[in-house]
Structure 1
Amino acid sequence: MNTFMNTEKARFNMIEQQIRPWNVLDADVLALLSEIKREDFVPAGLRALAFTDTELPLKSGEDAPVMLAPRVQARIVQDVAAQPQDKVLLVGAGSGYLAALLAKRSKQVIALEIDAELAALARANLQKAGITNAQVQQADGSQGAPAEAPFDVIVLAGSVAEVPAALLAQLAAGGRLFAIVGEPNAPTMRATLITRAEDQTYHSNQGWDTVAPRLRNFPEAARFSF
Structure 2
Amino acid sequence: MTDEDEGIAERKMRFLYALRSRGITDGRVLTAMERIDRGAFVKGLFAERAYEDTPLPIACGQTISQPSVVALMTQALQLSPRDKVLEIGTGSGYQAAILSLLARRVYTVDRHRRLVREATEVFRQLDLTNITAFAADGSHGLPDQAPFDRILVTAAAEDPPGPLLAQLKIGGIMVVPVGQTDAVQNLIKVTRHETGFEYEEMRPVRFVPLVEGLGSE
Instruction: Indicate the TM-score class for this superposition, using the shorter chain for normalisation.
Output: over 0.9
User: What is the letter of the counterpart of residue 168 of structure 1?
Assistant: L
SS of equivalent to 1:159? coil
SS of equivalent to 1:9? helix
Paired position in structure 2 for 1:98 = 95
Q: How does 1:41-190 map to 2 (within 5 A)?
A: 41-59=41-59, 64-186=61-183, 188-190=184-186
Which of structure 1's runs of 4+ aligned residues deviate more than 6 A? Answer: none
SS of equivalent to 2:59? coil
Cα distance in 2, alignment partners of residues 44 and 146 from structure 1 = 36
Judge conservation of contact 2:172–2:192 (CA < 8 Å) in 1: yes
SS of equivalent to 1:203? strand
Q: 1:203 aligns with which of 198, 206, 210?
A: 198
Paired position in structure 2 for 1:191 = 187
Deviation at residue 215 of structure 1 after TM alignment: 2.1
Normalising by structure 2, report the TM-score. Answer: 0.93
SS of equivalent to 1:193? strand
Question: For residues 20-42 of structure 1, what are the alpha-carbon distances to aligned partners after superposition, in whole Å with 9 as ceiling and x for unaligned?
Answer: 12211111111211111110011
User: What is the letter of the counterpart of residue 194 of structure 1?
Assistant: V
User: What is the letter of the counterpart of residue 203 of structure 2?
Assistant: W
Cα distance in 2, alignment partners of residues 107 and 208 from structure 1 = 28
Aligned length: 212
Cα distance in 2, alignment partners of residues 65 and 169 from structure 1 = 27
Question: For residues 76-114 of structure 1, what are the alpha-carbon distances to aligned partners after superposition, in whole Å with 9 as ceiling and x for unaligned?
Answer: 111101111100000000111100100110000000011
Cα distance in 1, alignment partners of residues 62 and 35 from structure 2 = 25
Deviation at residue 200 of structure 1 after TM alignment: 4.2
Cα distance in 1, alignment partners of residues 24 and 212 from structure 2 = 31
Judge conservation of contact 2:88–2:108 (CA < 8 Å) in 1: yes
* Greater CA drift, 177-186 or 99-108: 177-186
Paired position in structure 2 for 1:213 = 208
Structure 2, gaps ≥5 residues long: none
Cα distance in 1, alignment partners of residues 122 and 211 from structure 2 = 22
Paired position in structure 2 for 1:224 = none
Judge conservation of contact 1:173–1:200 (CA < 8 Å) in 2: no
Paired position in structure 2 for 1:32 = 32
Question: For residues 162-212 of structure 1, what are the alpha-carbon distances to aligned partners after superposition, in whole Å with 9 as ceiling and x for unaligned?
Answer: 1111110000111101101112122x4211000111x14111101222211
Deviation at residue 45 of structure 1 after TM alignment: 2.9
Cα distance in 2, alignment partners of residues 2 and 136 from structure 1 = 37
Normalising by structure 1, report the TM-score. Answer: 0.90
User: What is the letter of the counterpart of residue 47 of structure 2?
Assistant: R
Judge conservation of contact 2:178–2:188 (CA < 8 Å) in 1: yes
Judge conservation of contact 2:28–2:102 (CA < 8 Å) in 1: no
User: What is the letter of the counterpart of residue 59 of structure 1?
Assistant: A
Identity, % of aligned positions: 28
Deviation at residue 2 of structure 1 after TM alignment: 2.0
Deviation at residue 131 of structure 1 after TM alignment: 0.4
Deviation at residue 66 of structure 1 after TM alignment: 0.6
User: What is the letter of the counterpart of residue 50 of structure 2?
Assistant: A
SS of equivalent to 1:158? coil
Structure 1, gaps ≥5 residues long: 219-226
